Amino acid sequence: MRIKLFRLRVGEDHHNFEGALGMLQHNIAGSARRMVAVWLLCCAALVLVMVVVGGVTRLTHSGLSIVEWQPLIGTIPPLSDADWHEQFAKYRLTPEFQKVNFHMDLAGFKSIFWWEYFHRLLGRGIGVVFLLPMLWFLLRRMVDRPLAWRLAGVFVLGGLQGAMGWYMVKSGLVDDPRVSQFRLTAHLGLALLIFVAMLWIALDLLVPRRNSSPARRSMAALAMVAVIFLMSLTGGFVAGIRAGKAYNTFPLMNGHWIPPEIFMLEPWWMNFFYNMATVQFVHRSIAWLLAFAVPLLWWHVLREVTDPRARLACHALLAALAAQIVLGIATLALQVPVALGAAHQGGAVVVLACAVWLAHALRRTM
């Protein structure tokens, strides 16, 4: 009888030990997931800052001030008068100086140089902030193989983004002293894609998925993410051809809901990439679509969903979109001042983040 009781107690102790060990391992794994998620959220925040700085660089016409791509050597700025004169001499050979800024002196060159330098330095910094912790997490085995592949994919996108940035700058160093609107939009689109990937992976780590098939409202939120992403791309074309400098009235475009010159170019498809009227009309149209679709989704979510995360994300999306529309109208009416233009570009990332947050939350509520 005593032997039997002893065996029972040993069995119970072993079971309790296994349970405690399993709980400890679960807590350690949860702590590791949270650490990786916080790191990714910090990286996403840096990408948001990068987009805003990129907007300032574009609006101050600073993007063509550095005429070479030197990923390592370019980290060090000019340190002497000789270095500054050497950089300025290279800039004086560019079409932008010869056709636009021919009156610029060295002091004026320095004012545009620093914005582009800081933009590139921030890009390099994001690469370091992403790569080194990722390697540390891998060495400590804090991420599993599927997550490691996802993180590696994000890093590859970051490398492509750097190459695309230089490819964009090169387009403005030839005959026409402005960058290609196609390359500018691709550069912006890659930044947004990296931001979304970082945010989605972080949310996956913080809130594991509960269901296997998303509900229809989750699909609607994902469609909203796609539309917001598309609107941001059309904003890239607006910036690329400087369409914000024209049709500076709202809601009409110089007295018309649809400008009569919307299809003045031949062939017709060129209007969507080269015609200021068409490019701005498309951007406005998508904004109008979101102005109706987001409140409708908000109403459905509040009526059908009780999950506090999803409801909070829905409120955030509605508020962010309202602020972005107000910013857009003000930026247009004032003919794109630097501060408002940069804020509007950053606002697009905030709206996209809220839509991603909502779509992710709705996938976890079933």
pLDDT (mean) for 192-219 = 82
Domain boundary among 167, 191, 206: 206
Structural domain contains residue 14: no
Judged against a pLDDT cut of 50, whether residue 171 lies above it is answered with: yes
> In this predicted structure, which of 18-27, 115-124, 232-241, 293-302 has the lowest mean pLDDT?
18-27
Judged against a pLDDT cut of 50, whether residue 220 lies above it is answered with: yes
Q: Name the band, by pLDDT with cuts 50, 70 and 90, for residue 25.
A: very low
Q: Residues 189, 244: one domain?
A: no
pLDDT (mean) for 167-171 = 90
Q: Residues 165, 299: one domain?
A: no
Q: How many residues does the chain have?
A: 366
Q: Residues 163, 238: one domain?
A: no
Interval 141-167: pLDDT, tens: 888 999 999 999 999 999 999 999 999
Q: Residues 192, 53: one domain?
A: yes
Residue-level pLDDT at 118: 93
Structural domain contains residue 11: no
Q: Residues 201, 302: one domain?
A: no
Residue-level pLDDT at 358: 95
Q: Residues 120, 187: one domain?
A: yes
Q: Residues 50, 151: one domain?
A: yes
3-state secondary structure of 256: strand
Q: Residues 221, 356: one domain?
A: yes
Half-sphere exposure of 44 (CA within 13 A, CB side): 23
Judged against a pLDDT cut of 90, whether residue 21 lies above it is answered with: no
pLDDT (mean) for 210-236 = 83
Judged against a pLDDT cut of 80, whether residue 72 lies above it is answered with: no
> Which burial class, exposed, middle or buried, applies to 86 when counting CB atoms under 10 A from its CB (0-12, 13-18, 19+)?
exposed
Domain boundary among 153, 174, 206: 206
Judged against a pLDDT cut of 70, whether residue 196 lies above it is answered with: yes
Q: Residues 174, 314: one domain?
A: no
DSSP sequence for 72-114:
TGGGSPP-SHHHHHHHHHHHTTSHHHHHT-TT--HHHHHHHHH
Interval 346-356: pLDDT, tens: 999 999 999 99
Q: Residues 87, 168: one domain?
A: yes
pLDDT (mean) for 246-251 = 93
Residue-level pLDDT at 8: 47
Expressed as residue numbers, the domain containing 59 is 35-206
pLDDT (mean) for 46-56 = 95
Structural domain contains residue 73: yes
DSSP sequence for 17-40:
HHHHHHHHHHHHHHHHHHHHHHHH
Q: Residues 313, 278: one domain?
A: yes
Residue-level pLDDT at 215: 62
Q: Name the band, by pLDDT with cuts 50, 70 and 90, for residue 213.
A: very low
> In this predicted structure, which of 103-117, 306-320, 352-366 has the lowest mean pLDDT?
352-366
Name which of 86, 84, 91, 89 is nearest 107 in CA terms: 84
Q: Which residue has the higher pLDDT, 118 or 20?
A: 118
Phi-psi region of 70 (alpha: psi -120 to 50; beta: other; left: phi over 0): beta
Residue-level pLDDT at 11: 53
pLDDT (mean) for 119-126 = 94
Q: Residues 364, 222: one domain?
A: yes
Number of structural domains found in the chain: 2
Q: How far from 106 is each of 70, 111, 115, 122, 178, CA to CA, in Å? A: 22, 9, 15, 24, 21
**pTM for this predicted structure:** 0.89
Residue-level pLDDT at 68: 85
pLDDT (mean) for 218-238 = 93
Name which of 201, 183, 184 is nearest 146 in CA terms: 201
In three-state form (DSSP H/G/I as H, E/B as E, the rest C), the secondary structure along 314-340 is: HHHHHHHHHHHHHHHHHHHHCCCCHHH
> In this predicted structure, which of 39-43, 114-118, 170-174, 337-341 has the lowest mean pLDDT?
170-174
pLDDT (mean) for 88-111 = 91
First CA to last CA distance, the chain: 51
Structural domain contains residue 172: yes
Judged against a pLDDT cut of 50, whether residue 7 lies above it is answered with: yes
Structural domain contains residue 17: no
Interval 199-210: pLDDT, tens: 999 999 998 766
Helix axes 145-171, 181-206, angle to 10 degrees: 160
